[in-house]
Amino acid sequence: MEVPVLKQGPFLIATVQAALTDEDLVHLRRAMVERVVISRSLGVIIDVTAMDIMDSFASRTLREIAQMIRLRGAETIIVGIQPEVAFAMVQLGITLEGVVTALDLEEGLNYLKQKFNSSA
């Protein structure tokens, strides 16, 4: 399943639609980095509002995406984790360590704009 990625100025917004298979996640990882390179983006928002499960593979893949994008000099932020998903994650010890998170798309954009402005 292809994850739609939109461009918003210097930023990219990837909106996860529903439950992603492991294959989808691997595909997303490659696609995101390629898009960052092509668009010369400064930041990426991955919106997981529609994800009702976050398992350890998904968490690891998202961390890898953030690390790979950082190597391209860009920032990644995960937004839209639902309360029930967050609760389940911490109980299983899945923490998305080292990845910036925010409540929703609006907060994610605010974060990136602030970061972008302060380093300008």
* Sites of contact with another protein (CB under 8 A): 79, 81-83, 86-87, 89-91, 95-96, 101-104, 107
Nearest approach in angstroms of CB 101 to another protein is: 5
Distance between CA atoms of residues 71 and 105, nearest Å: 23
The smaller minimum CB distance to another protein, of residues 36 and 111, is found at 111
The smaller minimum CB distance to another protein, of residues 34 and 106, is found at 106
The smaller minimum CB distance to another protein, of residues 34 and 56, is found at 56
Distance between CA atoms of residues 19 and 109, nearest Å: 24
Nearest approach in angstroms of CB 67 to another protein is: 18
Distance between CA atoms of residues 120 and 66, nearest Å: 21
Strand bridging mode 5-8 / 11-15: antiparallel
Nearest approach in angstroms of CB 95 to another protein is: 6
List Cβ neighbours of 46 (8 Å cut-off, separation of 6 or more). Answer: 14, 16, 32, 62, 65, 76, 77, 78, 79
Tokens 């992603």 sit on residue: 20
The smaller minimum CB distance to another protein, of residues 22 and 106, is found at 106
Nearest approach in angstroms of CB 78 to another protein is: 8
